[in-house]
Amino acid sequence: MAVVKCAIDLGIADAIESHGSPITLSDLSSTLGCAPSPLYGIIRFLMHRRIFKEKLTTQGSPGYAQTPLSRRLMRQGEHSMAAFILMESSPVMLAPWLSLSARVLANGTSSFEKAHGEDLWSYTAANPDHSQLFNEAMACDARLVVPAMIQGCPGLFDGNSSLADVGGDNGTTIKLLVKACPWLQGINFDLPHVATVAVEISGVEHVGGDMFESVLKADAAFIMWVLHDWADKECIQILKKCKEAILEDKGKVIIIDAVIQEQEEMDKLTDARLMLDMVIMAHTTTGNERTLKEWGFVLGETGFSRYTVKPPTRALQSVIEACP
Ligand SMILES: C[S@@+](CC[C@H](N)C(=O)[O-])C[C@H]1O[C@@H](n2cnc3c(N)ncnc32)[C@H](O)[C@@H]1O
């Protein structure tokens, strides 16, 4: 991750993109103000990981070009994952990894709290710069996941006229959902320090609150990358509040989260899902990724009458639809 962060910091992908065609090491070095030899080492490493690729320039000299992966390292644009990588590689988020054992010990404590003296949400509330980086990071992920989900689950919001995105962060997700389903009135619900600084979005109301206390009323509730931050008991509490907030007859709670496969079902994204489990362990106090059986327990204890799990489409997450 340090090398990928280095590429973002240097602006390698942005420089190649602005050049518009494959660029030589010498031109790239002078554009970026870098020494050619270490820059070559960074690019060689990233080419080995298929992040950049070698391609002849228009003059026939050896040069470097973008790939779909390297475009994710650009600072701007709908494909950028730069903020996500910069957030995960920030000193704030790296420090808890050094205390991962604290979370695992029987009488242990949260790795994040050990490193920073408070949990992630209190820390972001007290540190606006980190909160903004976190929000931008989540927005990168939402831009990737939401279109895949809409494509993979057509008709998900048919019959609903309002939707509350619980823990919706700066509203990027609900903005994409309302754009794709213009009949939806969107509510973006998050902690007050997040909701109050979120920029205005047409068709969306930002509401600050605590999902453990209550969730704003809507036909349906949507909750993405939130429940994995919490233990079963807390998830059941949050889901009960969602269940109270939605319509009894045609309401539903749509959960977007990973499902960890059993050994025999593992696929090429299993590694990423298991990695995510470690990230959640390092950064949250009680969170973890869940297997289908573990999701079944949480949903059953909340009192949902039925649920369906749609496998992911080009994404780490599954779509779990739970009905009252
Ligand atoms: C991992 S982020 C997911 C953000 C967003 N759903 C997404 O996928 O891009 C978890 C979100 O839960 C919010 N959150 C944490 N505790 C909360 C609470 N008690 N009430 C409402 N939101 C909360 C955080 O502020 C954060 O935006």
CA of 226 to the centre of ligand 1 (A): 6
Domain residues for the domain of 172 are: 91-323
CA of 138 to the centre of ligand 1 (A): 9
CA of 280 to the centre of ligand 1 (A): 13
* Ranges under pLDDT 50 in the chain: none
Taking the mean position of all CA atoms in its chain, how far away is CA 137? 7
Using most ligand atoms within 8 A of CB, pick from 120, 140, 190, 204 the residue to mutate for ligand 1: 190
The DSSP line for 173-189 is HHHHHHHHSTTPEEEEE
64 and 111 in a single domain? The answer is no
Quote the pLDDT of residue 263.
73
Closest C-alpha among 72, 4, 62, 70 to residue 36 = 62
43 and 109 in a single domain? The answer is no
62 and 96 in a single domain? The answer is no
Ligand 1, atom 10: nearest CA belongs to which residue? 226
Using most ligand atoms within 8 A of CB, pick from 226, 229, 285, 289 the residue to mutate for ligand 1: 226
Atom of ligand 1 nearest to the CA of 193: 25
Tell me whether residue 262 is in a domain.
yes
Last residue of a domain, one of 17, 37, 71: 71
167 and 302 in a single domain? The answer is yes
Tell me whether residue 78 is in a domain.
no
Tell me whether residue 79 is in a domain.
no
156 and 127 in a single domain? The answer is yes
Inter-axis angle of helices 36-48 and 12-19, to 10 degrees? 90
Tell me whether residue 266 is in a domain.
yes
Closest C-alpha among 238, 193, 248, 236 to residue 215 = 238
Tell me whether residue 86 is in a domain.
no
CA of 152 to the centre of ligand 1 (A): 24
CATH for 98: 3.40.50.150
Atom of ligand 1 nearest to the CA of 228: 1
CA of 169 to the centre of ligand 1 (A): 6
157 and 221 in a single domain? The answer is yes
pLDDT tens, residue by residue, 3-40: 999 999 999 999 999 999 999 999 999 999 999 999 99
14 and 145 in a single domain? The answer is no
Please count the other Cβ atoms lying within 10 Å of the Cβ belonging to residue 251.
20
Quote the pLDDT of residue 211.
98
165 and 212 in a single domain? The answer is yes
Atom of ligand 1 nearest to the CA of 169: 27
Atom of ligand 1 nearest to the CA of 168: 6
Tell me whether residue 67 is in a domain.
yes
Tell me whether residue 85 is in a domain.
no
273 and 234 in a single domain? The answer is yes
Closest C-alpha among 260, 309, 303 to residue 281 = 260
Catalytic annotation present for 228: yes
Tell me whether residue 229 is in a domain.
yes
CATH for 51: 1.10.10.10
CA of 18 to the centre of ligand 1 (A): 35
195 and 140 in a single domain? The answer is yes
10 and 118 in a single domain? The answer is no
Q: Which of 130, 206, 228, 283 is catalytic?
A: 228
Quote the pLDDT of residue 314.
66
Residues in contact with ligand 1 by the CB-under-6-Å rule are 121, 138, 141-142, 167-169, 173, 190-191, 194, 210-212, 224-226, 229
pLDDT tens, residue by residue, 30-82: 999 999 999 999 999 999 999 999 999 999 999 999 999 999 999 988 899 99
Atom of ligand 1 nearest to the CA of 211: 20
The number of domains in the chain is: 2
Quote the pLDDT of residue 259.
93
215 and 136 in a single domain? The answer is yes
